[in-house]
Structure 1
Amino acid sequence: MGAADAAALTISNADSTQSVRERIAFNDGWLFRQGDPAHIGGALDYERVRDWVLPTGDHLLADATRRAPAGTPTPDANYTNGTTWAQPDFDDTKWRALDLPHDWGVEGDFRQDLPGETGKLPWFGTAWYRKHFDSPASDAGRRVYLDIDGAMSNALVWLNGRLIGGWPYGYTSWRVDLTPHLRPGEINTLAIRLDNARESSRWYPGGGLYRNVWLVKTNPVHVAQWGVFVTTPVVTREAATVDIAVTLDNTTATGANVELALRVFEADAQGRPAGAPVALGEPARVKVDAARQANYSHTVTLAAPRLWSLAARHRYVAETLVIASGALVDRVTTPFGIRKTDTTADRGFLLNGERVPIRGVCLHHDLGALGAAINLRAMERQLEILREMGCNAIRTSHNPPAPELLELCDLMGFLVMDEAFDCWAMGKKRDDYSRFFDDWHEKDLRALVRRDRNHPCVIQWSIGNEIREQGRSDGWKLAARLAAIVREEDRTRPIACGFNGVRSGYSGFHAVMDIVGYNYKPHEYARFRAAHPHIPLLGAETASTISSRGEYFFPVGENKNDGRADNQVSSYDLYAPRWATTPDDEWRAQDENPAVLGEFVWTGFDYLGEPTPYNDDATNLLNFSDPVERARAEKELAELGRVRTLARSSYFGIIDLAGFPKDRFYHYQARWRPDLPMAHILPHWNWPERIGEITPVHVYTSADEAELFLNGKSLGRKKRSPLEYRFRWDEIVYEPGELKVLTWKNGRPWAEAARTTTGPAAKLTLGADRAALRADGQDLSFITVTIADRDGRPVPRARNLIRFHVTGPAEIIATDNGDATDHTAFRSTARRAYNALALVIIRSRPGSPGAITLTAESDGLAGARVDLRSE
């Protein structure tokens, strides 16, 4: 009997459809309350509970001597400074009922006394979540785990009144074992306390159980968490070698002898096995000692593999079966992709042998008006908009992403730089991650890599962003330790770090990395390449151009500090903070140094917090804990006549907070989609106060020649020069009418665009990105509201107040307009348009299909409605 026949027989004898492992969505039916009971005081501060929390995730540590030292609390002990809010018999009937994911900060009002750098929302402080759940009698003898994809932050978990673990870092996915204190056949009570320090973040982090939560049930001998790792060391068009490494957990007090079997399938769109197996692994007998782990690797060969690429996102599924005494005791399916990647110093990034320039953006984890609470459709919409621009890569700035983002990138064809930390042991804020780094960095880093290493979209690991250790002569030693941890977990992908210091490319840090990622150093590319021709170089963070959608200020200055007024920034895309550049400057350096892998632009979307250039004065007063220093700073600001910024969100985005493209969107589209016929004119052409005045006109286009017309009269035909990325007509005298551009590429007509002076605002129009919703209580429709003239043309300076109403099985969960200075609460059902546009986000109601109608009205304008359906 051959290996394939033996594997098939083993699998047949142990029915692989048997339900031996359960992974249950655990998001529904939670109770919530902010604050703490009065009697706690500081009893639950990290320093007090450290010894109780630190054993969580000990299985991730490579060095057993660092695990749970002698004297660490045992499951039979309990933390003596407990709280009544954690006890099963506590009366929580008056607590708020809600479902997860949940971000309490985004539900609050914007407040001027809060720091602009974190979005002026009340995300900090403490809060509690409780859940009562039935554990069936069949749970007896099983292992039951609580898996949390992310909790912001300093989580503590109680089960039935017992403190069983926790995790400080708000971005890590982690697990606690419920088994020792679970009561099968009874109602059990979970309590989770979160604690966000006010000075712990440089941007809006959110607050709450803001990612998905799962209940996982297994047999005592099972595949470990993230215990299957698939690599493809040899890939050709004819065949692929697939190595599948499996880690088994034995949680019993006796050794176990099990059989491992493996099947490989093609994957469907949900990452599930489809059709018949395409490969079978030879069954193997494995001994797992008591209370230990065991490892085993399978190798199979796939003929004519279907490769994963940006255009063809083919995936496979490895099915791992654990069999004991002829019975199936565990079954795990692991989606993966077969692709060959190389990162080279001279040819850049290669995917399946072909160079792929990295055309990437940095993304913070918030979803605009939805805050930090993850939503699959909202993330998908962001990627759809970015793909239309020509973006092909995401940097998860500056922390582990939601796992659903990587799943979407696998399915939609995006490359990912998966980033771990914004700081190491040297912090940037008083209470940031540096406070926990020594205790938790190894667990956090290993958890990230193990969770994400089967995603074909992930092409590199970033171990840090602009970390302060760059400035220390021995800082490279810590970088080397972190890099070694990653390499122990995954040697198939290169390691990078975002360097904001030029010296980091020459001080020893560069030798630790597989890729040197420079932030805002286009002028350094040539010198670095000359000094280190063997090290791949990447623009890890580029541009940081700032602008407000639809805002234009005159005269149009050439200094990058110009273009600012009324807490907004002009959208001529010429302006940036002191450390940053325009897109044009970055592209010039890349074109002069074509070996550079590409770039990750700061940022794809505007995000909550960090409203540079309007967060660098008054809001920073909040960082002065010394009252004398604070008084001095206040005096200086008063003398300068500065006032507290109004801004709630960033100006860096190529796309605004509501998801509306800024002018820069078309600048990048022209660069990143050179084969797309397109042209875009800026500014708009509604300037009644500027008749007869100089009003410069810029054109973004993928063409190489352009001619501008005003009311039918040619204003000149221009041909693009080398290293030139926009067409400019800087001496145009404004007159109302039509501004039109015709373009050519390689001598042939290419694309045209026009801007027309509109009539006054006359009506509202509504456009939904999707008319059909799933009736699951999670699906969303994003509806664009436009203020138009009677001919349906957007009126570019309109800011009318609009009121919204929905009927049917749906609710308005947020509104926005992309204005960084708008402090209207996101939950409001009335919103002013910002430069003609506003956004309404509709969510379906669970289990309630039917017709949905959104209506919009505004005084003096004709109203509008849009009809949707929940199915």
Structure 2
Amino acid sequence: MSRIAFHDDWTLQTTAGSTESITLPHDAMIGEKRSPGAVTSFHGGFFPGGRYLYSKTWAVPSTTNGDRYRLHFEGVQGLTSVRINGNETATNVDGYREFAALIPEIEAGTQILIEVDVDNTQQPNSRWYTGSGIYRPVWLETVPATHLAIDGVGLRTIGTGTSTGLRADIAVSRELRRPGFLEIEIAVLDGSDIVGEATASLDGSHAQLDLDIREPRLWSAATPFLYDVRIRLLREGLLLDERTERTGLRTVSVDSTHGLLVNGAPVLLRGACVHHDNGILGAATLRVAEFRRVRILKENGFNAIRSAHNPASRHLLEACDELGMYVMDELTDYWYQPKTAHDLAHQFDRLWRDSARSMVAKDRNHPSVIMYSIGNEVAETATPRGVATTREIHNFIHDLDADRPTTVAISLTGNAFVSFGGKLPGPKDETKTKSRSKAVEVPPDTTPSKASDSFLTSTMFNVIADRIGPITQRIARSKRAGKYSRDAFAEVDVAGYNYAWSRYHRDAIDHPDRVMVGSESLVTDLPDIWREAQKVSAVIGDFLWTGWEYLGETGLGTWTYGSEPRMGIQAPYPHLASGSGMIDLIGVPGSEMLYAQAIWADDDSPRIAVRPLDAQTQRTRKVLWRLTDAVPSWSWRNQTGSPATIEIYSGADEVDVLINGTSLGRKQAGPKTRFLTRFHAPYQPGEVTAIAYRDGREVGRSTLTSAEKGKLRLIHERSDARGGSVDGIFVRLEIADEHGVVEMSDDDEITLSVAGPGRLLGFGSAAVTTEFSYSENTQRTYRGRALAVIQIGPGNESVSITASSTRHGSATATLT
């Protein structure tokens, strides 16, 4: 079976009547006009819903050899109907589930019309920005009469050490009228060298082959070595189908004594929770964007990603395989109790098996995936029905993949509230039994629980936690919280603790066989979390909220100033993003990232950040999901003499700060100050230096400098993507001096133009509040930076990009 990317020459038509030519993957929502009254509200960043018709004509090859053709969709957001020449061939409702549409048998050489009707009008359908349309890749597959089944190759590592091998489970879809034996040939390749091979005959539709690997090289996040596995299906020597899978040899196990073992070696997870959007690209899943994100996360100290709160894209998993990053892949954010007005909770009992099956089929050959999460903050786990559901999903996934442990991420505080009868008025209109559009017929809802009797939702828990602050941990470690999470935790391999690190020590005693992971935690709590994770063997690591900034859930981690309006943790339009990212929307690490590095680090090097000099004198409204608003910069134009708060993050005993060589005096640092030491002084341009001391001896120093006269510059990033096509080029725009120092308080409007066979896919800044659209060619920098993504057309012709600013000149770059 061959497959080709089916991304070019599509036409998009909206309900507003606009038509444009597009290339997939594509997020139709990100270009829509935002407004204060938009139906996605703060959940989705104030975007409207919409209905979209994607269409494309395709000529059936003149020679088909009896083969059929199939479209494989990795993800479509919205209720979806796929039509071939006007006839519906496939439907889908779960935006994160992969699905296929078999093209009917049509005469060779015939032109056919492919239409994908996507209805995403019913909003909000999630607690964060989801995007709309065909946002993940689509493939055209040639399907012989007898072929390797969809995701019909399962690869498992067997044995250990020098005897490590590979087990291949092969499923074949065969032509009924041609019984008899088929042959399977498998070769494992290290580059061009065959290091393992096996053959087998099969009379049915399944085969299992074990392969010894010569001088096996194991995969881990530290040493991400991958093999190519070539599978060939033959009949009497004639090749019927062929496929190549890329995988690594890796074992994983967990227990309360040894924690997490990868290839028999202990691993402590330094995890980032990551939503699926790509910032200025919206939800569009470009391979180059996923590789870039994983590379930046790893460079900043993370070794694991939790795909919050939905199955990760294949491109993300490929990046994690290639670059070395562990993955907890998560099934869903809801079970049968809704969290937003138009999520799919009312269909959960009908949908979850297909969604879980799709996730496991996608994940099982990726060595980066070490664990499945079966749900996030599902308060149903406090009830007998929820415990039964936990058991059922766990068993279902283990039947599909027995090698990876499962977890369920529980808010123990939320479960304690539910145990008191903590039910709240839920979203409305969840229980409609008719289709939301003519595109898809939705079967009647058979779920007994109704939205009007909804449990405490994750959003409401966030509101309560922000108000009561540290009391959240008191509730989380209460006997009641333990009692009403105990039974669900007993049904999975690893207990997922959301915001409940204070239970680790006690639960390790009370439940000696329980393995625990911090499935979601605050950066503020990291000193305590990391101390406990290193002390308690049953704790295998932690995932911070949140590693990478995301669209929607506006205000969750945003500090506001002066008279800026907000509604608790919810920030109104024109807020766009959550504000809780340790790395911002355009991939720049912030102060909280530096803080985590100081806690994780093996060295005592001090890290420097400064509270914004243009905001810190104003009344500040803080939120629980952000430790600090400091910025890693000493470049604040026109702020000479303004009071500056300098934050130093270090694990050393003491730190000192020098401003232009003048010492502010040593202060205590390290665990006793929770790795954060503050200094106060009038701002003076020049340089600020932090010096760390241990036992009175200098052990590290770092310096930030002020920018001289800045001008606009473009930086063409080279692609991190390996083994695939480059589907976009990232270009950083900075207002910086000749030494590359970026100015924080001299932002400017910039207009981009693209010459040659290229087009602008996205353009924007890291600002969490903006009225600019990422689809426009004019933007305003934020803290001196912006980012553009350019798509390059086929051929060898170069593309030129020119950026023109109002006050900082212009710059040009040639992209190839």
Contact 2:379 2:411 survives alignment (8 Å): no
Of 99, 106, 110 in structure 2, the residue corresponding to residue 182 of structure 1 is 106
Shift of 1:615: 9.8
Question: Structure 1 residues 110, 746: CA separation in 2 closer, same or farther (over 3 Å shift)?
Answer: farther
Q: Write the deviation string for residues 151-172 of structure 1: whole angstroms up to 9, x where unpaired.
A: 1122111222222221110111
Q: Write the deviation string for residues 31-82 of structure 1: whole angstroms up to 9, x where unpaired.
A: 2212399xxxxxxxxxxxxxxxxxxxxxxxxxxxxxxxxxxxxxxxxxxxxx
The residue aligned with 1:244 is 168
Partner of 1:442: helix, strand, or coil?
helix
Shift of 1:695: 4.1
The residue aligned with 2:798 is 850
Shift of 1:806: 3.7
Q: Which amino acid aligns with 1:587?
A: W
Q: Which amino acid aligns with 1:244?
A: A
Shift of 1:419: 0.9
Asked if residue 521 in structure 1 is aligned to residue 444 in structure 2, the reply is no
Question: Structure 1 residues 643, 248: CA separation in 2 closer, same or farther (over 3 Å shift)?
Answer: closer
For 1:711 and 1:302, locate their aligned partners in 2 and report how far apart those are by CA, in whole Å.
60
The residue aligned with 1:835 is 783
The residue aligned with 1:770 is 718
Shift of 1:212: 0.9
Partner of 1:540: helix, strand, or coil?
strand
Of 467, 471, 474 in structure 1, the residue corresponding to residue 378 of structure 2 is 467
Asked if residue 661 in structure 1 is aligned to residue 589 in structure 2, the reply is yes
The residue aligned with 2:629 is none
The residue aligned with 1:320 is 231
For 1:165 and 1:784, locate their aligned partners in 2 and report how far apart those are by CA, in whole Å.
41
Contact 2:233 2:239 survives alignment (8 Å): yes
For 1:374 and 1:772, locate their aligned partners in 2 and report how far apart those are by CA, in whole Å.
15
Question: Structure 1 residues 433, 832: CA separation in 2 closer, same or farther (over 3 Å shift)?
Answer: same
Of 608, 613, 616 in structure 1, the residue corresponding to residue 551 of structure 2 is 608
For 1:28 and 1:338, locate their aligned partners in 2 and report how far apart those are by CA, in whole Å.
36
Of 12, 15, 32 in structure 1, the residue corresponding to residue 12 of structure 2 is 32
Aligned ranges 1:586-597 → 2 under 5 Å:
586-591=529-534, 593=536, 595-597=538-540
The residue aligned with 1:649 is 577
Shift of 1:592: 5.2
For 1:349 and 1:771, locate their aligned partners in 2 and report how far apart those are by CA, in whole Å.
32
Question: Structure 1 residues 777, 389: CA separation in 2 closer, same or farther (over 3 Å shift)?
Answer: closer
Q: Write the deviation string for residues 628-679 of structure 1: whole angstroms up to 9, x where unpaired.
A: xxxxxxxxx9999x99443111111001112222111211222334248563
Contact 2:610 2:644 survives alignment (8 Å): no
Of 747, 751, 758 in structure 2, the residue corresponding to residue 803 of structure 1 is 751
For 1:500 and 1:639, locate their aligned partners in 2 and report how far apart those are by CA, in whole Å.
23
Q: Write the deviation string for residues 435-472 of structure 1: whole angstroms up to 9, x where unpaired.
A: 33222211110111012101000000111111131232
For 1:754 and 1:639, locate their aligned partners in 2 and report how far apart those are by CA, in whole Å.
39
5+ unaligned residues in a row in structure 2: which ranges?
A: 413-475, 612-632
Of 264, 283, 307 in structure 1, the residue corresponding to residue 200 of structure 2 is 283
Shift of 1:255: 5.5
For 2:380 and 2:529, locate their aligned partners in 1 and report how far apart those are by CA, in whole Å.
26
Please say which structure displays the higher CA radius of gyration. Answer: 1
Aligned ranges 1:375-774 → 2 under 5 Å:
375-501=286-412, 502=476, 503=481, 506-543=485-522, 581-591=524-534, 593=536, 595-613=538-556, 644-675=572-603, 677=605, 679-683=607-611, 684-685=633-634, 695-701=644-650, 703-718=652-667, 720-722=669-671, 724-730=673-679, 732=681, 738-744=687-693, 749-756=698-705, 762-770=710-718
For 2:511 and 2:305, locate their aligned partners in 1 and report how far apart those are by CA, in whole Å.
26
| Percentage of pairs with the same residue | 29
For 1:402 and 1:721, locate their aligned partners in 2 and report how far apart those are by CA, in whole Å.
39
For 1:435 and 1:458, locate their aligned partners in 2 and report how far apart those are by CA, in whole Å.
29
The residue aligned with 2:70 is 145
Contact 2:252 2:260 survives alignment (8 Å): yes
Contact 1:36 1:127 survives alignment (8 Å): no
The residue aligned with 1:556 is none
For 2:89 and 2:497, locate their aligned partners in 1 and report how far apart those are by CA, in whole Å.
42
Shift of 1:215: 1.4
The residue aligned with 2:138 is 213
For 1:724 and 1:340, locate their aligned partners in 2 and report how far apart those are by CA, in whole Å.
39
Of 82, 86, 111 in structure 2, the residue corresponding to residue 161 of structure 1 is 86
Partner of 1:852: helix, strand, or coil?
strand
Shift of 1:246: 0.9
Contact 2:608 2:646 survives alignment (8 Å): no
Q: Write the deviation string for residues 307-345 of structure 1: whole angstroms up to 9, x where unpaired.
A: 112232222233222222432212222222112222222
Asked if residue 257 in structure 1 is aligned to residue 173 in structure 2, the reply is no
The residue aligned with 1:577 is none
Contact 1:159 1:182 survives alignment (8 Å): no
For 1:95 and 1:758, locate their aligned partners in 2 and report how far apart those are by CA, in whole Å.
45
Q: Write the deviation string for residues 568-614 of structure 1: whole angstroms up to 9, x where unpaired.
A: xxxxxxxxxxxxx4433433443554542111111111111011348
The residue aligned with 2:473 is none
The residue aligned with 1:564 is none
For 1:399 and 1:747, locate their aligned partners in 2 and report how far apart those are by CA, in whole Å.
49
The residue aligned with 2:242 is 331
For 2:133 and 2:312, locate their aligned partners in 1 and report how far apart those are by CA, in whole Å.
16
Shift of 1:133: 1.0
Partner of 1:378: helix, strand, or coil?
helix
For 2:147 and 2:650, locate their aligned partners in 1 and report how far apart those are by CA, in whole Å.
56
Question: Structure 1 residues 674, 183: CA separation in 2 closer, same or farther (over 3 Å shift)?
Answer: farther
Partner of 1:818: helix, strand, or coil?
coil
Shift of 1:764: 2.5
Q: Which amino acid aligns with 2:56?
A: K
Shift of 1:122: 3.7
Contact 1:696 1:728 survives alignment (8 Å): no
Contact 1:361 1:395 survives alignment (8 Å): yes
For 1:643 and 1:363, locate their aligned partners in 2 and report how far apart those are by CA, in whole Å.
21
TM-score using structure 1 length: 0.77
Of 801, 813, 816 in structure 2, the residue corresponding to residue 867 of structure 1 is 813
Contact 1:666 1:701 survives alignment (8 Å): no
Contact 2:43 2:124 survives alignment (8 Å): no
Partner of 1:516: helix, strand, or coil?
strand
Question: Structure 1 residues 842, 726: CA separation in 2 closer, same or farther (over 3 Å shift)?
Answer: same
RMSD: 3.1
Question: Structure 1 residues 719, 350: CA separation in 2 closer, same or farther (over 3 Å shift)?
Answer: farther
What is the aligned length? 719
For 2:544 and 2:37, locate their aligned partners in 1 and report how far apart those are by CA, in whole Å.
31
Q: Which amino acid aligns with 2:774?
A: F
Aligned ranges 1:66-215 → 2 under 5 Å:
95-114=19-38, 115-120=40-45, 122=47, 124-139=49-64, 141-179=66-104, 181-196=105-120, 197-215=122-140
Q: Which amino acid aligns with 2:584?
A: D
Contact 1:812 1:840 survives alignment (8 Å): yes
Question: Structure 1 residues 766, 474: CA separation in 2 closer, same or farther (over 3 Å shift)?
Answer: same
The residue aligned with 1:11 is none
The residue aligned with 2:443 is none
For 1:158 and 1:402, locate their aligned partners in 2 and report how far apart those are by CA, in whole Å.
24
Shift of 1:476: 0.7
Contact 1:780 1:844 survives alignment (8 Å): yes
5+ unaligned residues in a row in structure 1: which ranges?
A: 1-20, 38-93, 268-273, 289-293, 546-580, 618-636
Shift of 1:395: 0.8
Question: Structure 1 residues 778, 305: CA separation in 2 closer, same or farther (over 3 Å shift)?
Answer: closer
Q: Larger deviation: 486-495 or 375-384?
A: 375-384
For 1:773 and 1:358, locate their aligned partners in 2 and report how far apart those are by CA, in whole Å.
24
Question: Structure 1 residues 408, 676: CA separation in 2 closer, same or farther (over 3 Å shift)?
Answer: farther
Of 12, 22, 33 in structure 1, the residue corresponding to residue 2 of structure 2 is 22
Aligned ranges 1:285-304 → 2 under 5 Å:
286-288=202-204, 294-304=205-215
Q: Larger deviation: 349-358 or 733-742?
A: 733-742
Contact 1:264 1:316 survives alignment (8 Å): no
Partner of 1:436: helix, strand, or coil?
helix
